[in-house]
Amino acid sequence: MSDLRAEAEAWLADDPDPAGRDELRAVLDDHQELRDRFAGPLTFGTAGLRGPLRAGPNGMNLAVVRGAAAGLVHWLAQTGVEGPLVVGYDARHGSKAFAEETAKVAQGAGRRALLLPRPLPTPVLAFAVRHLDAAAGVMVTASHNPPQDNGYKVYLGDGSQIVPPADREIERAIRAVGPLRDVPLGDAGETLGEDVVDAYVDGALRTVEPEVPRDLVIAYTPMHGVGNDVFVRTITEAGYPAPNVVAEQAEPDPEFPTVKFPNPEEPGATDLLLALATRSDADIAIANDPDADRCAVAIKAADGWRLLRGDEVGVLLADHLMRRGVKGRYATTIVSSSLLSRMCEAHQVPYGETLTGFKWIVRAGDDLVFGYEEALGYCVAPTHVRDKDGITAALLVCELAAGLKSEFKDLGDRLDELALRHGVHATDQLSVRVDDLADIATAMATIRRQPPVALLDEPVHAVEDLLPDADVLIVRAGTTRVVVRPSGTEPKLKAYLEVVEPVTGGDVAAAREKARASLAALRTETAAALGL
């Protein structure tokens, strides 16, 4: 305890934030709290830094942000990259202050800092990096994490998220930063005008065709995030009627008061959206997550509204682009449905498969024209935004839905067409949120030690362990597949399930029902294999 307290006292002496110092002093005698806060520094993960808002090295706070910014600008200087640093931020607690601190560190190091004009979607920042010929970009956001979190995403000059070895090099540069009080600070840099948003919207509009149907009733929610203004503007300037927006979730609110978790994938998160869709007799319902880099879609079904899985939206968008004649590579990840690979084979276009995360998807090939991940992330125009973009994805979904509506069809009909041609590729996810990360390690060790010998009564023919490159285990039995991995952004263990059911006699409904039953059984088998 004495060593821990000494470490905390040393942190206090160097913390530039009076509020952070007061917060830490209040817990100096709480051994468990200090252990949590000093368990280790936040490290660069799937998308930079992400963690709870709290004082100490194992949290997001002004001291950690100053150190991260100092390490980043030092690394940029070391690598000889010229150009400004563009900084964006969402509406979470602390986001604007963290963005301004980053700008001051860059200015103090002699590098021009450009601050986005207001809280804006992450795709706008990713776009701005290339649009402004920047050396790099920083987006202060925790995306769809709970309200007590924040994060720090770093983009390289090509507009993509950092990958090894850049992430490790930046991490080393951060650890090499001396006392924070010695980090030179400049002014807050230049605040950009709305022209950067104008340029983003103009580019988004070029992702859809001009002479196609626009008759579509849309229900929409930004889920208390920053997507509303940009989404509504983009949709209406594309020629669609103004969407019906969930009033309770329209304005940014860092507390996310109407949802347990501000993630469209979470149960109950889209209840208000679907209620609005019903009241407004909408053709389609769309949700962005709080930083608008993800897009969820719901359609009418026989028994009410149904949220499409990320795999379903991904293959719908890919099929739409293929039908439009867009040639190039279509990519997804090892945890997504295998249907995209079959579609690429049928259309004779290149297919790419990567590790999870858009930092890998956008690097699937120089010829990339589309990429998606099952976690509601879609890149429909890599030359516009080299990352997932919930605004342009929604725009393309609307183009597809309006075109189908003009033919008296909907997205469900198109999914049935794909199933008739390629079979029903049904996917599901077993997701377990934990309080103790050790539980995830235990589950992964359990299935590695004794992987299943059969799935759905079929013998397992392949077990692929991707360590050390990635903490992923893949089990295959016939056309059935299970992929297990820890989440890179949340305290979750995830198992991705897929079964493929051929359609006989044109009866898609029967094939889907059989696939649903198989998935339910596969969930049970997977949970047992993980020791859950």
Any idea which residues carry the catalytic annotation? 143
- Between CA 110 and CA 96 the distance in angstroms is 21
- Between CA 186 and CA 166 the distance in angstroms is 25
| Dmax (CA) of the chain | 74
Q: Find the length of the chain.
A: 532
Task: Strand 473-477: give its sheet, edge to edge.
Answer: 424-433, 492-501, 480-486, 473-477, 462-465
Handedness of CA 451, 452, 453, 458 (dihedral sign): negative
No. of H helices and E strands in the chain?
17, 22
Residue carrying structure tokens 């859950």: 532
Token pair listed for 411 = 């997205």
Residue 397 three-state SS: helix
Closest CA to 68 of 170, 144, 136: 170
Alpha-carbon distances, residue 190 vs 70, 88, 132 (angstroms): 18, 12, 13
CB 172 within 8 A of CB 517: no
Residue 307 three-state SS: strand
Closest CA to 108 of 100, 117, 98: 100
- Between CA 119 and CA 134 the distance in angstroms is 19
- Between CA 402 and CA 450 the distance in angstroms is 49
Alpha-carbon distances, residue 97 vs 66, 309, 380 (angstroms): 11, 36, 32
At CA 490, angle to CA 54 and CA 429, rounded to 5? 160
